[in-house]
A and B are shown apart, each in its own frame.
Chain A
């Protein structure tokens, strides 16, 4: 039983952090499809940072700075240049995946994976079987609670939600929707950096090209599934992780009867199901509306 929970936490934690990033952006009214790209920048920067500086925390700092810069770029394009968030987000994703591949190739010359000597600090023997997990797993519930406090119990959080739902009304009471989006996307950049670091250095300690393989988009779906609520989105992300773990289990036990490529499809199918269900329950969110609302000036 313990190993199943460990597997779920390992695959679920990166997804949860990235989902929280998407959730904040969603609350501010930005459909952030660049999550995938920002996350892979975080993964790549963490591994390369560890190799360059030989210190995990310095590497983490580099990853956070790069991810926040990428988020600010997305904010600039969406908010200042009034680009379509969906296409711009997909563009940022392409930049992240291509850019990290190019960075690895230009530094190491080959397309192989890059391994780091060590990864995120572990919890240690005090936690028994769970000691192999990284500190970000333990931090996750506190981060979720902190974001819940921030978004639901502070003036800032309410203003953020107002800016997302009705920018014009928010502006009329003195909030600045544009600045709110910048803050939301920047916080999202930090969370994506943590998610990317956890993915690459949490249990694996290597970076491979395109290693996020759609997790950013899955996180985005978790945001929709969880109605952009901090706790709801977290549970949606964990649900996808559980489905993924079931898929891996099923591969081990029925791998000879069912082709394993089709079992790998389970998380994607769960995502479609989740988005469909949330549309049924709440009438569905419309992507097209997502960018019409940005045009409030």
Chain B
């Protein structure tokens, strides 16, 4: 327990370090760094309504991040969460389009199933290529992100095009209000319940089932698990599919909740942020929930920054990238610094 808390503290120290580093860089770039830090805190948690906004961003991120942590636990660098997220949103949008006019009690679940299937499908081919032919999943899932982005542009400017669109950004026809699971502020009991269900199911899966334990072991030492008779192939494919399905679910939530439509290139950093959340939380599900709140706060502050501090919203992307640069640092002297690993846990 003590070791786990220390690990979390170490992650947080990296996050703070990255924030301070970015503040210094922004100061040199001619912005007011202190104003930036205070307005991040303001936009994330202090401003009236900011907590709701942070939750709105945190819940979909949590769903995706929980999936990412499963595939990372199993030892697969599935960095294609962004593409799987897009495919989920696209498939759900198609389902909603085809079932238009049906009762909401039927259409909404169908959209969710379609979204999860779409996300899982986009994780299936890199998974199969990796497990069947040894094709490196880092590159295939990365290319999958670009392909999904192009597919999204095609879908929003072709089959699902909204003819009344402004032309600035192609987007799909808006969903019927009856099928929306939240208003455009993006926080509703339905979404909260979905996130809680995902959290509980994933926690049970990781900590209380043979699959979860074996997958985590396979990530550390695949050969050993194979010798003990587990099928590495099945474990790997299942973890790819689960992570894809969850990213697809997050895409569906974004479509049917806050956005109500899909637009070309919407939420372009969702997948990367989700990967970061999983890593900062050290791949634990409970930790992922807590860390999502923090990154949800940053995402909410990103919209607030241009007004308050005159900083472009890209500033938050830079902060996230700086965190990514340092978060996986595992140097020996860091362990000594934080006194981790002195005794067996």
Contacts and interface: CB of A to CB of B under 8 A. Distances in A.
B129 interface: yes
A192 B89 CA distance: 36
B138 A287 contact: yes
A284 B329 contact: no
Nearest to A284: B134
Interface string B305-326: 0000000101101101111111
A174 to B, nearest CB: 23
The B interface, classified by DSSP as helix, strand, loop or mixed, is helix
B253 interface: no
Given A94-B272, A102-B315, A268-B146, A261 B153 contact: yes
Contacts of B31: 106
Interface string A278-297: 01100111111000000001
Interface size band for A: 35 or more
B138 A86 contact: yes
B142 A217 contact: yes
Contact of A276 (B129, B144, B317): B129
Nearest to A259: B154
A155 interface: no
Contacts of A288: 75, 77
Nearest to B312: A105
A80 B325 CA distance: 13
Contacts of B150: 261-262, 264-265, 268
B24 to A, nearest CB: 13
B136 interface: yes
A220 B139 contact: yes
Nearest to A85: B328
B269 to A, nearest CB: 8
23 contacts: A81-B331, A83-B327, A83-B330, A87-B324, A87-B327, A87-B328, A91-B327, A92-B325, A94-B321, A94-B324, A97-B321, A102-B29, A102-B318, A214-B146, A217-B139, A221-B139, A265-B146, A265-B150, A265-B151, A279-B135, A287-B136, A287-B138, A288-B77
* Closest 3 pairs between A and B when the two form their complex, measured CB to CB: A94-B321, A284-B134, A91-B324
Interface of B: 25, 29-31, 75, 77, 79, 129, 133-140, 142-144, 146-147, 150-151, 153-154, 157-158, 272, 275, 279, 312, 314-315, 317-318, 320-332, 334
Given A83-B325, A272-B139, 13 more contacts: A77-B325, A82-B332, A88-B325, A88-B328, A90-B79, A90-B272, A92-B325, A94-B272, A99-B318, A261-B153, A272-B143, A284-B134, A287-B137
